[in-house]
A and B are shown apart, each in its own frame.
Chain A
């Protein structure tokens, strides 16, 4: 269970500028094994929220609890897949090297880790690019490489920051189904940031809608579609359409 309790975050102002309030007061929770999406307008504080959740940023107020323990630094059972893959993949390591690097401290033989890295890359369709450097990949391929690294890390809790923003529609559907499959089969707890209402509804058990900056929770919309879901059937389902309509209205006010 991941609980976000009255979380607030202000960035200190630089050179005399006033401090910027990114998160006003955000509370919600993700049950163990649950899949929750975060939706909100650009700049409302979603990336800030994810960084607070995994302990990279100290909140100004409030706290984050993972299984009733307060998060003060990145816990080993969490993996954050950053919004900007090109700023997160290490350019002096190959794609496979990037994955092996985050596995260094994990138990297991070198061979096992090779296999984990190869499997993760195959899952995201990058098997042929293991030996490439990140800067030799397109933006969408970099996102997939970062996703592969996050999945390979083997954390129970996945925090994903718009991981499919720059891949084509076809690949996007495949990656959504990959993520849904991994989350279901390995009982992952997922907090998923996106701009895309359809994507949020399709993937989630509940969608947390945030207000414009500084963010508060506008509403939590449950999605009770059965799983496993099908890209075409789910999008035609009455419950999908209802959730979509509600969220649309919330975001537009």
Chain B
């Protein structure tokens, strides 16, 4: 509790310093408008529905890309984890594509997908795919042999075991991959909106900057920060519930 309180004090002190520096002319009030002005602008834009709409667009794209990535990467990763043959087949491709920073593919994606939603969803998909794939593959590979043997001994078919034994056993590792993917998806969605889009919070922030609507620009940044915070918290909470069995107090033996 004490840590939390002092954290809030630090935050307020910083905001206060910004406010004072801006109002006293220590820094340019044009580039660093007072925090209270930004907050007021944020309140106005949030109430008018503009910020929620723009953030909503961005989140929808990020979520679509993330969901598609999870849908493809989890099964592929699990298969890579349990089958050496499958791993041999895919890992050269994965090793080549994985180090490519996702923003680097935005220009190429714009060539064949234009600047519509498809391009953004694809770029998010690309960014989220690899952390999820690696999480699933590592998790499946590390599943204790006892679980697999038990499933086999009790007549569980291999596809069934993949879904009902390997997936849950690898769950914590899959969840870790997803937790990494969520902020990456958001970053890449915003970036793709800055490079090629006509809406979305990334596009909005850039447009405000170019038209010197600086308080609006900061309000957009704040809205995005808030959205990111909520996404991470939601992922943490949801995934934590799904893999609850692996946490908590467990007797060692």
Contact = CB atoms under 8 A, between A and B. Distances in A.
Given A135-B245, A135-B251, A101 B164 contact: yes
B151 to A, nearest CB: 9
Contacts of B246: 91-92
B65 to A, nearest CB: 28
Nearest to B165: A90
Interface stretch (A74-82, A175-183, A219-227): A74-82
A86 interface: yes
Contacts of B168: 90, 92
Interface string B135-153: 0000000001011011011
Nearest to B248: A135
Given A101-B164, A133-B245, A135-B245, A90 B153 contact: no
B250 interface: yes
A129 B59 CA distance: 44
B3 interface: no
B154 interface: yes
Contacts of B146: 82, 84, 87-88
B155 A74 contact: yes
B149 A82 contact: yes
B144 A87 contact: yes
- Binding site secondary structure of chain B: helix
A105 B155 contact: yes
A245 B165 CA distance: 45
Interface in B161-193: 164-165, 168-169, 171
B147 A153 contact: no
A197 B170 CA distance: 40
A104 to B, nearest CB: 8
Contacts of B251: 135, 138
B146 to A, nearest CB: 3
B19 to A, nearest CB: 51
Interface residues of B, number: 21
Interface of A is mostly: loop
For B152, B154, B171, the residue with the greatest tally of chain A CB atoms inside 10 Å of its CB is B154
A78 B152 CA distance: 11
Interface string B217-247: 0000000000000000000000000010110
Given A90-B165, A135-B251, A139-B253, A82 B245 contact: no
A62 B144 CA distance: 28
Given A74-B155, A76-B155, A139-B253, A88 B171 contact: no
Nearest to A166: B253
A54 B149 CA distance: 11
Nearest to A83: B146
> Chain A CB within 10 Å — which of B146, B155, B250, B251 has the most?
B155
A20 interface: no
A92 B171 contact: yes
B153 A54 contact: yes
B158 to A, nearest CB: 11
Nearest to A76: B155
A83 B253 CA distance: 14
A86 B171 contact: no
A102 interface: yes
Contacts of A73: 152
Interface string A44-74: 0000000100101000000000000000011
B82 to A, nearest CB: 15
A80 B152 CA distance: 10
Interface of A: 51, 54, 56, 73-74, 76, 78-80, 82, 84, 86-92, 101-102, 104-105, 133, 135, 138-139, 153
Interface of B: 144, 146-147, 149-150, 152-156, 164-165, 168-169, 171, 243, 245-246, 250-251, 253
6 contacts: A51-B149, A91-B246, A102-B156, A104-B156, A105-B156, A135-B251
The 4 nearest A-B residue pairs measured at CB? A87-B146, A102-B154, A92-B245, A80-B153
Given A56-B153, A105-B155, 18 more contacts: A74-B155, A79-B153, A80-B153, A82-B146, A82-B153, A88-B150, A89-B150, A90-B147, A90-B150, A90-B168, A91-B245, A92-B168, A92-B243, A92-B246, A102-B155, A133-B245, A135-B250, A135-B251
